[in-house]
Amino acid sequence: MLNPWRLRLLSQLDSLGTVRAVAQAAQLSTSSVSQQLAVLEAETRTQLLERTGRRVRLTPAGLILARRARAVLDHMADIEAELRGLGDEPSGLVRLGAFQSAIHSLCVPAVTRLAHSHPHLDVTLHELEPHESMRALRAGDADIIISTTDFVEQPLGPDIDIVPLATDPIVLVLPPDRAARGPADLSAYADEPWAFDTPGSYMANLATRLCRESGFEPRIVCRFSNYMMALQHVEAGLSIALLPGLAIDPRYRVATRELASPVTRTITAVIRRGGPPRAAVSVVLDALRRHGDLPGATAPVGR
């Protein structure tokens, strides 16, 4: 009998690339992960790993087992949910990962509605930026992610299904005393102090690209991984910022302007492909689709 926990470790190795990364994700030591993978090789009587220098990689047999394991683990989760709910209604655990601005605008309202309509459904929320969430989905650490198809650093593939949710504009955020009408030309703000997201994040990369396309290198005076902190910094008159429309919290006194060359991001829900999604996942997807009117965002065509 194959051990599901060891299969998950093998699947994570395929997605994350190194034993060290798998150990960090599973909160284990690297030696423990290596030991469990060795046991899995003994159970299957097949060489699943091969060493290249100081690293290990999956053999062709290991790749086959790792990728089939994802479907097996998803199917087991479906069976467990059906047994718990006895088929009466969707139940069980659904792990939902989303970037920061989607959590308060999309996820929390959806989870709140589900808590009343499906009390046997458990939805856990995890803050995951686009550069993290696709890896988590493919590794089996998330069942649904809220991401954007515009994040080119994580290419899409035939192993996932995409559900469009909304279109979100990128806006220029200014202190309240600098409100102005009409679209903003970024080149006019070349000498301003800027608040940026952390290096390597979706918004940090996008904001850098937009400033450079406007002919200047931004003078970054602070970096925050939390949009609320960025809004507070702008509200105090210490910086300006480029932020998604969904990130603009009305509790902060800031002014926003559309860009002269409009930039939008497509917000999507993403699940792993492999047959119909289990009932609990489908219910959460439906709740996310019924998000109503989002400040600054528009519904996808055909919704």
Quick one: average pLDDT of 80-103?
76
pTM of the predicted model over 0.75: no
- Whether domain 90-166+266-290 has CATH 3.40.190.10: yes
pLDDT of the residue at 234: 97
Pick the CATH number of 168-264 from 3.40.50.2000, 3.40.50.720, 3.40.190.10, 1.10.3720.10: 3.40.190.10
Architecture (CATH level 2) of domain 4-75: Orthogonal Bundle (1.10)
Q: Which of 21-25, 155-159, 196-200, 299-303 has the lowest mean pLDDT?
A: 299-303
| Domains 90-166+266-290 and 168-264 in one fold | yes
User: Any idea where the domains of the chain sit in the sequence?
Assistant: 4-75, 90-166+266-290, 168-264
3-state helix/strand/coil string of the chain:
CCCHHHHHHHHHHHHHCCHHHHHHHHCCCHHHHHHHHHHHHHHHCCCCEEEECCEEEECHHHHHHHHHHHHHHHHHHHHHHHHHHCCCCCCEEEEEEECHHHHHHHHHHHHHHHHHHCCCEEEEEEECCHHHHHHHHHCCCCCEEEEECCCCCCCCCCCEEEEEEEEEEEEEEECHHHCCCCCECHHHHCCCEEEECCCCCHHHHHHHHHHHHCCCCCEEEEECCCHHHHHHHHHCCCCEEEEEHHHCCCCCCCEEECECCCCEEEEEEEEECCCCCCHHHHHHHHHHHCCCCCCCCECCCCC
Of 170 and 3, the structure prediction assigns the larger pLDDT to 170
Asked if residue 86 has pLDDT above 60, the reply is no
pLDDT single digits (tens) 213-269: 999 999 999 999 889 999 999 999 999 999 999 899 889 999 999 999 999 988 999
pLDDT single digits (tens) 132-148: 888 888 878 899 999 88
Percent of the chain past pLDDT 70, that is, above it, reads 88
